[in-house]
Amino acid sequence: MIEERAKKIKLLILDVDGVLTDGRIIYDNFGDEIKCFNVYDGFGMTLLHRAGIKSVIITAKKTRIVKRRAKDMHVAKVYSNYEKLKVYEKVIKRFRVKDEETCFIGDDLIDLPVLKRAGLSIAPPEAMEEVKNICHYITKKSGGRGAVREVIEIILKAQGLWDKVTSEV
């Protein structure tokens, strides 16, 4: 079932805290925010980009760190807004995709409206129970520790693109 859904994906949409990171937010003595990102997730995003599949970040919190990491990972657009469903509706119009062509990875209650709409909804194992209960797949890897890479591999393998993008490494 997951592979059938993954075959249709044209757009990967990500939350940040708890998905691209382990959910911790660290502040230094100057009040600057520090987030830790996983290199495996980042390289997975590069492979996704090579395959021609676009990605977007929808996060409730606006930070420069996320924009910088998004640029490194070839993310097409970063949206910061607490009303994720409104942003999602804007995103599917902008990228000209249908719900069934989107994959959304989220972990908290604020992500529920988008997870309910996405063609492939995914959560890391640390996600809230309400989130995990409605998702099509729960990753084996944790948020911020390879969960995004795991999902990208599923999508690329389901679409027969894995060998092509990894042969260019």
Give the C-alpha separation, 58 to 15, whole Å.
5
Reported as a pLDDT band with limits 50, 70 and 90, residue 1 is confident
Give the C-alpha separation, 108 to 38, whole Å.
20
Reported as a pLDDT band with limits 50, 70 and 90, residue 164 is very high
- pLDDT 10s digits, 73-83: 999 999 987 79
Give the C-alpha separation, 45 to 63, whole Å.
20
Report pLDDT for 72.
94
Q: Are 136 and 121 in contact (CB under 8 A)?
A: yes
Rounded to 5°, angle at Cα 79 from 8 and 84: 70
Reported as a pLDDT band with limits 50, 70 and 90, residue 44 is very high
DSSP label of 54: E
How many Cα atoms sit within 13 Å of 84 on the Cβ side?
Answer: 26
Whether the predicted model's global pTM rises above the 0.75 cut: yes
| Contacts with 34 (C-beta within 8 Å, 6 or more apart), sequence order | 25, 26, 27, 28, 65
Q: Which helix (H) or strand (E) holds 74?
A: none
Which structural domains are found in the chain, ordered by start? 2-164 (3.40.50.1000)
SS3 135: coil
Residue found by looking up tokens 């970040």 in the block: 57
Residue type, 156: L
